Amino acid sequence: MNPSIHDLPALPRNPEGPVFKEPWEAQAFALAVHLSEAGLFTWSEWAAILGQEIKEAQHRGDPDLGNTYYHHWLNALERICKQKGLVPVAELLRRKEEWRLAHLHTPHGKPVELRTTLSEPDA
């Protein structure tokens, strides 16, 4: 039997389901689950890549206190999407830069709004 989402370790939960500290954590989680369920990679492939990301982070000094777990999850998503050719590397880099710039130009306490393109003028 192939591992699946049901084989994940216990996540913090409430009666409605998993609990995440930030919305992006839930989105990264859901994206990995959706891509696996769509057959774009197996859960075994996902677990192996996530494990590699965590080991590499620990090797770089990550103290593994739990607060960086979804950063590893996001890095693993990027890695598996590149390896599987699900997204061109240039597109991934472009979107990451758009998010970085949007974050830098968002006032504290306001939601980050991502524009369609880097060159779109301010409204």
Taken in order 50, 70, 117, 97, the sign of the CA dihedral is negative
> Domain residues for 59?
19-104
How far apart CA 33 and CA 38 sit, in angstroms, is: 9
Determine if the pTM surpasses 0.75.
no
* Count of structural domains within the chain: 1
pLDDT tens figures, 6-20: 655 556 677 877 778
Task: Examine residue 85 and state whether it is found in any structural domain, yes or no.
Answer: yes
Q: Please tell me the predicted confidence (pLDDT) of residue 123.
A: 45
Task: Examine residue 120 and state whether it is found in any structural domain, yes or no.
Answer: no
Q: Tokens representing 107? A: 């006032």
Task: Examine residue 91 and state whether it is found in any structural domain, yes or no.
Answer: yes
pLDDT tens figures, 23-33: 888 889 889 99
How far apart CA 109 and CA 4 sit, in angstroms, is: 37
Q: Please tell me the predicted confidence (pLDDT) of residue 112.
A: 85
Contacting residues for 121 by C-beta, under 8 A, at least 6 apart: none
Task: Examine residue 10 and state whether it is found in any structural domain, yes or no.
Answer: no
Q: Please tell me the predicted confidence (pLDDT) of residue 47.
A: 93
pLDDT tens figures, 58-104: 999 998 888 898 999 999 999 999 999 999 999 989 988 998 999 89
How far apart CA 61 and CA 84 sit, in angstroms, is: 28
Task: Examine residue 46 and state whether it is found in any structural domain, yes or no.
Answer: yes
